[in-house]
């Protein structure tokens, strides 16, 4: 350990990016529900921590296998590589609770990964793979190990195009990958809200799903093959459109959350971008009416995002001016509906799926275009809330259509009873984010105003997760398990997952 311990300051929430217009609207809407005197303390988004230092012995081992220019011991790097973007992690950091900070960040080149893992195994060094660090499931939390190293994939950004596929590096961000694909006339088709920061390796490892999954599929539909670096060797799939020769590297890589190996290059399917995009929006009487409409459809637009009335009201407050809201109010009244109703934003690729939705108030293209303009902007609102002393969070699940209405209404009720029991203020809203013939993914956003964010978040999240499960929902639709949801995974499944783990990347004993 180094002789001197140093106090280090690091920014967890980026500088304000929200426009002053939106800030005023946020103050008027969300701010008015949570009066200033009832919020937590305002926060500048930074934390200070004491650097525990790094053992020379560990550095000597790493230096023996990776070029020293690719090893960082900078305390800011190490802190930022030790946390994801989940609300529980942010709330703990804001509370001054510092996680186990990795001892070093290694950014290996392709040919250094396998030897690095081998040497780490021999020397009992544990590793966590990091991509864009946008994971929200506590996947970077490890406790109890002597040496813990972050294996950063940012040097692995190869892109080799083929005809209808590309070989692509795990460290490419969504925006970089899509940029390469579009430069040769293709699209990848995966557009998660974290598109600008999350990486291909992260997508595969968490089982990500983008906003246009109804059209392009989820990440497992896009990956034809993968390379998996392990401490006992490297497994690599052949270049082939399909191959039934047993379990492949891609199967071990998908949803492995960094535990089965370091995902290297993958073979990714390329698609032609649509010739045109068609925008539309409709208002349903309520969320149930929207769910019932969706449940009997055979085909869906690339995006069909149905918001409940609370989310609809906020979307309108944040984006529509008073005149537009007045017109909408009158229009809904004529259609026998109460403002705000349940908004569905639709974007079609190529052909319109639904010409007019019977029983809904059809409101044209403008709202959908506006939604698309801000499709990656919601996290900025989250950042604003954090700085105002509030605690925002999200949880998601999927279920069959028959369970959807029940799951939604019981989850909202559970949340409201939960905050009442805790004696705190809160707000919950939801939308249907992804559609399948068998059922939807439902995405809940909530805000707590609490003096004890960590304990209260944990409590509310547990109540919601148990409610999802008791209504037949999945633990998660696309965020993954990480460390937060492992308690809800059956013992047999956990034991099976353990069999595939690389000992370097598993838990510290």
Between 424 and 441, name the residue whose CB sits nearer to ligand FAD.
441
Binding piece for ligand FAD, criterion CB under 6 A, among 65-73, 233-241, 473-481, 496-504: 473-481
Strand order in the sheet with 439-449: 361-362, 277-284, 342-349, 303-307, 425-436, 439-449, 391-398
Task: Indicate which single residue of 87, 107, 205, 342 sits in contact with ligand FAD (rule: CB under 6 A).
Answer: 205
Contact 235, 261 (CB under 8 A): yes
Binding piece for ligand FAD, criterion CB under 6 A, among 67-75, 177-185, 339-347, 472-480: 472-480
Count of residues binding ligand FAD (CB under 6 A)? Answer: 34
SS (H, E, C) 297-365: CCCCCCEEEEECHHHHHHHHHHHCCHHHHHHHHHHHHHCCCCCCCEEEEEEEECCCCCCCCCCCEECCC
> Site mask, ligand FAD, residues 316-355, x = CB under 6 A?
----------------------------------------
Cα torsion angle, 259, 201, 49, 148, sign:
positive
Task: Indicate which single residue of 62, 263, 337, 447 sits in contact with ligand FAD (rule: CB under 6 A).
Answer: 263
Binding piece for ligand FAD, criterion CB under 6 A, among 64-72, 125-133, 234-242, 343-351: 125-133
Between 199 and 280, name the residue whose CB sits nearer to ligand FAD.
199
Nearest approach in angstroms of CB 330 to ligand FAD is 35
Task: Indicate which single residue of 203, 314, 415, 468 sits in contact with ligand FAD (rule: CB under 6 A).
Answer: 203
What torsion do the CA atoms of 99, 101, 107, 111 make, to the nearest 10 degrees?
Answer: -90
Beta strands in 35-183 (DSSP E): 46-51, 71-72, 104-106, 126-130, 148-152, 159-161, 165-168
Closest residue to ligand FAD, judged by C-beta, is 202
The answer to whether residue 39 forms part of the interface with ligand FAD (CB under 6 A) is no
Spell out a b/e string for 361-395, using b for 16 or more CB atoms within 10 Å of the CB, else e. Answer: bbbeeebbeebeeeebeebbbbbbbbbbbbbbbbb
Binding piece for ligand FAD, criterion CB under 6 A, among 194-202, 286-294, 298-306, 339-347: 194-202
> Site mask, ligand FAD, residues 218-237, x = CB under 6 A?
--------------------
Between 285 and 461, name the residue whose CB sits nearer to ligand FAD.
461
The answer to whether residue 153 forms part of the interface with ligand FAD (CB under 6 A) is yes
Per-residue CA distances from 304 to 87, 225, 344, 347 (Å): 27, 30, 6, 7
How many whole angstroms separate alpha carbon 42 and alpha carbon 88? Answer: 17
Task: Indicate which single residue of 133, 177, 432, 435 sits in contact with ligand FAD (rule: CB under 6 A).
Answer: 133
Q: Which residues bind ligand FAD (CB under 6 A)?
A: 84-85, 128-136, 139, 153, 170, 192-194, 198-199, 201-203, 205-206, 208-209, 257-258, 262-263, 379, 478-480
């Amino acid at each position: 350990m180094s002789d001197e311990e140093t106090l280090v300051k690091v920014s967890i929430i980026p500088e304000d990016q929200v426009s002053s217009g939106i800030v005023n609207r946020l103050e008027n809407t969300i701010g008015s529900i949570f009066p200033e005197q009832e919020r937590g303390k305002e926060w500048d988004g930074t934390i200070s921590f004491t650097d525990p230092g790094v053992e020379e012995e560990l550095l000597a081992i790493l230096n023996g296998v990776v070029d020293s220019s690719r090893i960082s011991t900078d305390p800011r790097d190490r802190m930022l590589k030790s946390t994801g973007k989940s609300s529980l992690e942010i709330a703990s950091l804001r509370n001054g609770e510092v996680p186990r900070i990795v001892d070093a960040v290694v950014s290996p080149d392709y040919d250094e990964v396998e030897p690095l893992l081998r040497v780490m195994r021999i020397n009992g060094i544990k590793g966590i793979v990091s991509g864009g660090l946008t994971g929200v499931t506590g996947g970077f939390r490890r406790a109890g190990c002597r040496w813990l190293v972050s294996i950063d994939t940012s040097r692995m950004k190869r892109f080799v195009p083929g005809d209808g596929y590309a070989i692509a590096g795990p460290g490419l961000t969504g925006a970089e990958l899509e940029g390469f694909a579009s430069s040769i006339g293709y699209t990848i088709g995966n557009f998660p809200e974290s598109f600008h920061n999350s990486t291909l390796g992260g997508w595969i490892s968490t089982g990500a799903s983008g906003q246009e999954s109804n059209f392009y599929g989820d990440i497992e539909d896009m990956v034809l093959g993968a390379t998996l670096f392990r401490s006992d060797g490297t497994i690599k799939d052949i270049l082939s459109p399909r191959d039934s020769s047993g379990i492949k590297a891609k199967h071990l890589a998908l949803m492995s959350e960094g535990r089965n190996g370091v995902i290297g290059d993958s073979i990714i399917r390329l698609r032609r971008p649509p010739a045109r995009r068609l925008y539309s929006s409709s208002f349903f009487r309520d969320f149930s009416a929207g769910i019932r409409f969706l449940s009997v459809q055979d085909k869906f637009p690339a995006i069909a995002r149905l918001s409940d009335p609370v989310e609809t009201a906020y979307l309108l407050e944040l984006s529509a001016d008073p005149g537009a809201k007045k017109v909408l109010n009158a229009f809904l009244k004529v259609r026998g509906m109460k403002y705000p109703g349940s908004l569905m934003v639709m974007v079609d690729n190529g052909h319109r799926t639904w010409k007019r939705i019977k029983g809904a108030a059809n409101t044209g293209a403008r709202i959908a275009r506006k939604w698309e303009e801000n499709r990656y902007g919601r996290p900025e609102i989250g950042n604003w809330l954090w700085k105002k002393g509030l605690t925002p969070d999200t949880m998601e699940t999927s279920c069959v259509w028959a369970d959807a209405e029940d799951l939604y209404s019981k989850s909202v009720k559970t949340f409201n009873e939960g905050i009442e029991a805790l004696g705190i203020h809160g707000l919950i809203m939801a939308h249907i984010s992804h559609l399948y013939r068998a059922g939807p993914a439902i995405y809940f956003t909530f805000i707590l105003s609490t003096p004890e964010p960590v304990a209260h978040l944990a409590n509310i999240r547990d109540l919601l997760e148990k409610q999802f499960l008791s209504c037949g929902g999945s633990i998660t639709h696309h965020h993954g398990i990480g460390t937060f949801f492992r308690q809800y995974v059956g013992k047999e499944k956990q034991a099976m997952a353990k069999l595939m783990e690389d000992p370097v990347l598993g838990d510290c004993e």
